[in-house]
Amino acid sequence: MAVELRWCHSLSEASFPAQAYEALRQRLAGSTPFNHLGWLRAAEQALLPGQQLAVLMGYEHGELRLCLPLVRSRERFGPLRVAVVRHLGYPLSDRIALLIELPVDAAGQVLRSIRRHLPHALLQLSEVPSAVASDPWLNCWARRSSTFEQRLSCRVPVHRISAADRQEISGDPRYKLRRARKRIAACGAVERRVLADAATITALLDAVSAVETASWKGDDAVGIFSGSQRRQWMYQGFTDLAGQGLVCLVLLELDGRCISYRLGLLERGRFYDYNLAFLPAYRDLGSGRVLLESVIHWGLDSGWEWVDASRVSLDNSSHQLHERHTGFIEHWRLSCFSWRPSGFTLGLALRGWHWLKPLVRKRATPAASEAAHTTQEHAHANEGHRQRG
């Protein structure tokens, strides 16, 4: 097997094989909107000072069969500050496919090249779906690591669109939807579906980013538009994807002004529900559930197959798709610790923590119970004082 590995330092270099990259992406069924070259180029432009991009390309018989855009930076883990390598797009790409089409025999050669070109303590891949997490390539990398950890990030609810979605949903969600529709009708707001294009995307992003900024996401600076670098990434990335017809929005507007929205990406019949927000003054409308149903009906009208929550919290997720999901996709975080002293030490510390954690929790439980009991006694005493007062 003749595998040739090459490195370049930017996805925007004139020598980067953009057409070959797109052909590779199209051949791999698991690729997502976050693998699109336009999205990744926007992510590259938003890199922070000190972050180094290097793109590994693998050729077999002159054909591009592997492309991994990797970012090296230094991160702090407790008292240690070590080199970490991640896939470009972290942390705002909700699901990645590893664009690897080479036989597994090349896995060791590729990992050695990464370790030579980007010396690191930790190679970490986030938001990797289950089908990729069990790939023989990653199993090979796990065996060649001083420590390997595969940790569940979230279980994403997904919904298979079917003719049954024409019928009203049953149970408690039905009444929540009815109440939300009545409130929306009473205030005079109207829904609008928009398939963005290059001419309309900027105005749409201006509208939805203003809503997000006014919402709790803006207050807590956790939104996709929070900060100049994230905002630049979103505008550049969505503009490129809109030019390819991949950006869909459902808007709730009042007097021509957006008050709530869902923003998603469409790839191969799957709608990735990427972002939503609403103005605080209209929080009681319950618009999110209504707009999600609008997405599903849009999918019915347009022949989409799936609506996907894209990313949710691992615990206590409140995404409305939980009410009507037909399945889940697990996202994993894969950590490969190198054999360098820093990687070996960090991996050893992780294994030590996994050993200690049950003991710490076991000791913490009685203390927490005692504290809770004491708090409850104080609460009863205070309640007695209030009643007597």
Is residue 323 in some structural domain? no
pLDDT in the model for residue 374: 47
In DSSP notation, 241-296 reads HHHTT-EEEEEEEETTEEEEEEEEEEETTEEEEEEEEE-GGGGGG-HHHHHHHHHH
How far apart CA 160 and CA 329 sit, in angstroms, is 12
Q: Residue 302 to residues 111, 195, 306: CA-CA distances in angstroms? A: 42, 11, 11
pTM, two decimal places: 0.89
Q: Both 183 and 289 in a single domain?
A: yes
Q: Both 206 and 132 in a single domain?
A: no
Q: Both 143 and 54 in a single domain?
A: yes
pLDDT in the model for residue 239: 98
DSSP 8-state secondary structure symbol assigned to residue 38: H
pLDDT in the model for residue 314: 84
- CB–CB of 128/333 below 8 Å? yes
Is residue 124 in some structural domain? yes
Q: Both 341 and 285 in a single domain?
A: no
Q: Both 38 and 170 in a single domain?
A: no
Is residue 317 in some structural domain? no
Is residue 327 in some structural domain? no
Is residue 129 in some structural domain? yes
Q: Report pLDDT digits (tens) over 33-82.
A: 999 999 999 999 999 999 999 999 999 999 999 999 999 999 998 888 99
Is residue 173 in some structural domain? yes
Q: Both 285 and 198 in a single domain?
A: yes
CATH number of the domain that residue 34 is part of: 3.40.630.30
Q: Both 280 and 257 in a single domain?
A: yes
Q: Both 145 and 178 in a single domain?
A: no
Is residue 374 in some structural domain? no
Q: Both 149 and 179 in a single domain?
A: no
How far apart CA 198 and CA 66 sit, in angstroms, is 30
Count of alpha carbons within 13 angstroms of residue 318, beta-carbon side: 3
Q: Give the residue numbers spanning the domain of 73.
A: 3-154+332-354
User: Which residues are within 8 A (CB) of 312 and not within 5 positions of it... i.e. 6 or more apart?
Assistant: 154, 155, 156, 157, 319
pLDDT in the model for residue 381: 38
Q: How many structural domains comprise the chain?
A: 2
Is residue 376 in some structural domain? no
How far apart CA 8 and CA 98 sit, in angstroms, is 18
**Which pair of structure tokens corresponds to residue 19?**
């057409």
- CB–CB of 171/324 below 8 Å? no
Q: Both 118 and 231 in a single domain?
A: no
Q: Both 104 and 132 in a single domain?
A: yes
Q: Which helix (H) or strand (E) holds 32?
A: none
Q: Is 200 helix (H, G, I), strand (E, B) or coil?
A: coil
Q: Residue 162 to residues 7, 168, 269, 324, 326: CA-CA distances in angstroms? A: 45, 13, 13, 12, 11
Q: Both 122 and 14 in a single domain?
A: yes
- CB–CB of 28/99 below 8 Å? yes
For the chain, 389 residues long, give each residue's pLDDT as a single digit of tens.
589 999 999 999 999 999 999 999 999 999 999 999 999 999 999 999 999 999 999 999 999 999 999 999 999 988 889 999 999 999 999 999 999 999 999 999 999 999 999 999 999 999 999 888 788 999 999 999 999 999 999 999 999 999 999 998 888 889 999 999 999 999 999 999 999 999 999 999 999 999 999 999 999 999 999 999 999 999 999 999 999 999 999 999 999 999 999 999 999 999 999 999 999 999 999 999 999 999 999 999 999 999 999 888 888 888 999 998 999 999 999 999 999 999 999 998 888 877 777 777 777 765 555 554 444 444 443 433 333 33
